Amino acid sequence: MNETISKMMQHRSIRKYSDQPVTQEMVEQIVSAGQMASSSSNVQAYSVIAVTDAGRKAKLAELCGNQAYVAECPVFLVWCADLSRLKQAAERYIPSQTTYEATTENFIVATVDTALAAQNAAVAAESLGLGIVYIGGIRNQSEQVATLLDLPRLAYPVFGMCLGYPDQEPGLRPRLPLPAVLHWNGYDAAGQDKQVADYDEVMSTYLRERTGGSKDTPWSELMAEKLAQPARLHLRQFLAQRGFELK
C-alpha cells in the first residue's frame, strides 16, 4: 500500500478543530488540487465559496441545523454546482441559439463535477495534516444559503466542508465489505443479503464500543429508518427557481 492509498484509508470525519489557522495559501493549494479532478468535457461546472468571516460562519452553522463545528472551523468551504459560466459563454458566442443548460443531464454533470473536485480537495487537505467533514446540512435551507453567499442563477450549494487542524482522533468507521460494492462483469444481487448481514454485525459491534453499549442498531435498520423520514423535500422547487428545470 503506497503513501497516498494509506492516507486515504485513514480518512475520518473531523468535527473538532484546534486554533491553528489555515492560511489562504493552503486553501488555494487545496482547491487547486480539487480543480485537477476529472471533469465531464472539461466544463468544470462548480464554484467554491471559502468562508472565513466569523459572522457568516455562524449564520451558516445555524442554516445547516445548528452544527457548531461549521462556525468553529477555521475555513468553511461551500461547494456549489455552477452552470452560470456556461450560460454566459452561450450568451456571448451563440446569443440567438436555443441552449439546454437546465437539463437533467447538465444538472448531473455539474453535481458530479462538484463532488469529484471536492474529494480531490479533501485528500489534498488530509495530506497536509488537516481534517475535514462534509456538511450535507447546507441543503437544509438552500435559498437562504444561496442568498447569503450571493450565488448566481444556475448555481446551487451541493454540500459544505469544514476545514482545519484536527483536535480529536475519532476511530475509523467500518465500511461495507468490498464484495458488497465491487461486482465483476455484472451486478451480484444474490450476494447482497450476506454482505449486508455481515456488515450489520460489524456495525453493531462498532456502535456498542463507540457508545459504551447504549446503541447497537444494525446498519440496515438505520438505513430503513432513514428512508422512512422525509428529507429536504423543498429541493426540487428550489432547483427549479435556480434555473434547473431538469428537462
Give residue-wise pLDDT tens across range 66-86.
Answer: 999 999 999 999 999 999 999
Residue 102 has pLDDT above 90, yes or no: no
Whether pTM > 0.85 for this model: the answer is yes
Percentage of the chain with pLDDT > 70?
100
Q: 3-171+230-241 belongs to which CATH class?
A: alpha beta
How far, in Å, CA of 217 to CA of 20, rounded?
37
How far, in Å, CA of 129 to CA of 1, rounded?
19
Q: What strands lie across the sheet with 46-51, from one edge to the other? A: 46-51, 75-82, 155-164, 131-135
Query: b/e per residue, 221-237, with b = 16+ CB within 10 A?
Result: eeeeeeeeeeeeeeeee
How far, in Å, CA of 157 to CA of 150, rounded?
11
Residue 193 has pLDDT above 90, yes or no: yes
pLDDT value at position 201? 97
Average pLDDT, stretch 88-97? Answer: 97
pLDDT digit string, tens, across residues 39-53:
999 999 999 999 999
For the record, the C-alpha cell of 178 comes out as 468490498
E-only strand ranges, the chain = 46-51, 75-82, 131-135, 155-164
Number of helical H runs and strand E runs in the chain: 11, 4
Of the pLDDT bands very low, low, confident and very high (cuts 50, 70, 90), residue 105 is very high
Average pLDDT, stretch 100-124? Answer: 96
* Torsion sign across C-alpha atoms 106, 112, 113, 115: positive
- Residue type present at position 121: A
The residue extents of the domains of the chain are 3-171+230-241, 178-216
pLDDT value at position 247? 82
Rg over alpha carbons for the chain, rounded to the nearest Å, is 20
Q: Quick one: which of 124, 162, 123 has its CA closest to 17? A: 162
